[in-house]
Amino acid sequence: MEENPTEKMNGGPIARYDMGGLKLALCGLIFTAINIRIQGFDIVPDVIGYLIVIRGLGKIEKYEVKFSAAKKTAYVLAVLALFNIYQAPAWEHWGTEATGLGQTTQESVFFSAGLFGNIPWLAMLFLFAGMAASLYFTYSMCKAMKVLLNGVGDHGLAGVCDDRWKLILAAQIGLLVSLLTALLGVPFALILVMVFGSLALIALILFLLLVNRAYKSIDGKAETACREKECFLNLKDLI
């Protein structure tokens, strides 16, 4: 934390959080959320957004170790994003012999797997890897923000971090299960994919709003409350 020599507390300078890196990371996340494709090519490549995220988290990882974990995971997401710069247009993959509204084919599931969409087992591997990395990134971000929010005394917003993480986890698990049921040809599985896909989008938007609120709450604030681990240790000493 940077020191402002004009402010003193108990004879020493007050250390304040500089959350400019979190704001930069938010810009990168918004960049990755934009999906504009022309003939299957992503004209706003996610990899650029993840590089911005990595840059931003590098500025604030000194405040909380889980920001470092999120930054490392962003490297993995950046690599996976390279393989997803091109997606075959979805209309090329919808089955022409569907027997009902919810019927879908393997191709309709794999088209979003980027360059490996025509190799089912590899497409599933990248799908699982991408979801796992995304979940761990979100988990690390929420836990890191929670620690700092508790540190500045914003316990209400700190509690929201846990709620957002649980919502994203539920949405991603539901989406994964629905994709697997679609792969198995379960009737109306495509409807489940659409429902949980919409829930995942809502969860993403709420997560981005949370990052923005956390930035505004923490930036420029001094750490006025003990962190969870430190409070626990102090309580043990008192007992």
Mean pLDDT of the 44-48 span: 90
> Across all residues in the chain, what is the average pLDDT?
79
The whole-number pLDDT of residue 27 equals 97
pTM reported for the whole predicted model:
0.78
The whole-number pLDDT of residue 41 equals 76
The whole-number pLDDT of residue 212 equals 97
| pLDDT higher than threshold 80 for residue 1 | no
The whole-number pLDDT of residue 209 equals 97
The whole-number pLDDT of residue 49 equals 95
State pLDDT tens for residues 175-219.
Answer: 888 878 877 777 777 888 889 989 999 999 999 999 999 999 999
Q: Are 182 and 189 in contact (CB under 8 A)?
A: yes
The whole-number pLDDT of residue 89 equals 53
Return the higher-pLDDT residue of 46 and 42: 46
The whole-number pLDDT of residue 193 equals 84
State pLDDT tens for residues 89-146.
Answer: 544 444 444 443 333 444 444 544 555 556 666 777 777 888 899 999 999 999 999 9
**Which long-range CB contacts under 8 A does 194-201 form with residues at least 24 apart?**
196/171, 199/170, 199/171, 199/174, 199/175, 200/168, 200/171, 200/172, 200/174, 200/175
The whole-number pLDDT of residue 91 equals 42
How far lies 146's CA from each of 67, 149, 179, in Å? 11, 5, 32
In 3D, which of 72, 75, 108, 80 has the Cα closest to residue 183? 108
In 3D, which of 99, 114, 117 has the Cα closest to residue 188? 99
The whole-number pLDDT of residue 181 equals 83
What percent of the chain is predicted at pLDDT more than 90? 49
What percent of the chain is predicted at pLDDT more than 70? 71
d(CA 98, CA 25): 43
pLDDT band at 227 (very low <50, low <70, confident <90, very high): low
The whole-number pLDDT of residue 180 equals 81
Helix (H, G, I), strand (E, B) or coil at 18: coil
**Which long-range CB contacts under 8 A does 138-142 form with residues at least 24 apart?**
138/164, 138/165, 138/168, 138/207, 139/165, 139/169, 140/66, 140/67, 140/69, 140/70, 140/73, 141/66, 141/67, 141/70, 141/207, 141/211, 142/207, 142/210
